[in-house]
Amino acid sequence: MTDDDLKRIDGAMSAFGGPVSYEVHCSDGLTRELSLKELLSYENPQRKAIHSLKATSVSLEGDNKRTAIVDFEDRYQRTIAFYLNGFENDVEKFNSAMMDIVEGMRPWYAWFVGRFSAPMFAMVFGLVLGVLAVVLIWHLSACHDLPGAGTGAAWVVLMANSVWLGSLFLSFMCAETIDNLKKRFFPAITFAIGQGAKRHDTMENIRWVIVVGSALAIVSGIVVSIIMMPFSR
């Protein structure tokens, strides 16, 4: 979320309900009530970094009482939540305008990272690690003169299953760490306001290094495996 995003949100909410007030929950544990001007000028230092934001707009004019509350939180399960009250046409128009704004705020990695919770990611990682370990064990048993070598050897099956289950267990034990790393490097929303803009730019560069580095590692592993395959027979 940038300064421009905030201004667009404020404009849409003001048109729907009236003046907008903001509450921001920060990393120092405090909740600050700010106007748009105060929010745009907020330094947003690391020790007081914004973690969530709630915008509220209320209009009590005549019979057409309108209320709009929009929550922004760093959670993939519910990054943005709307609480709207008013005539149906007004609510639909406002909702459409807000969705257009929100669509432009969505991180480029959200389509992928947002689909995987920490336990699911741990399970997939454990399965992949387990499969690789199983393939390696079977390969060693077939290519080397090991005791009981052979694809049907009971010890190979036992060792492969043990490694597989161990990989799954280790991954689930690390699920919390994985979730923390996900929130750190791939947050659902960032508040690029004040000093937060520089932090966002720095993390964006780190994210690209992680993504490109991981892709190169996978491609390199596949290429090396293909090249070495004739020599392993």
Least trusted range by pLDDT, from 72-76, 193-197, 219-223, 226-230: 226-230
pLDDT tens digits for 42-98? Answer: 999 999 999 999 999 988 776 778 899 999 988 777 788 888 888 888 889 998 999
CB count in 10 Å sphere of residue 118? 19
Any residues with CB less than 8 A from the CB of 57 and at least 6 apart, and which? Answer: 13, 14, 16, 17, 18, 19, 20, 21, 66, 67, 68, 69
Going by pLDDT thresholds of 50, 70 and 90, the confidence category of residue 39 is: very high
Contact by Cβ (8 Å): 134, 160: yes
149-161, pLDDT tens digit by residue? Answer: 444 455 555 666 6
pTM: 0.69
Residue 219: pLDDT band (50, 70, 90) is confident
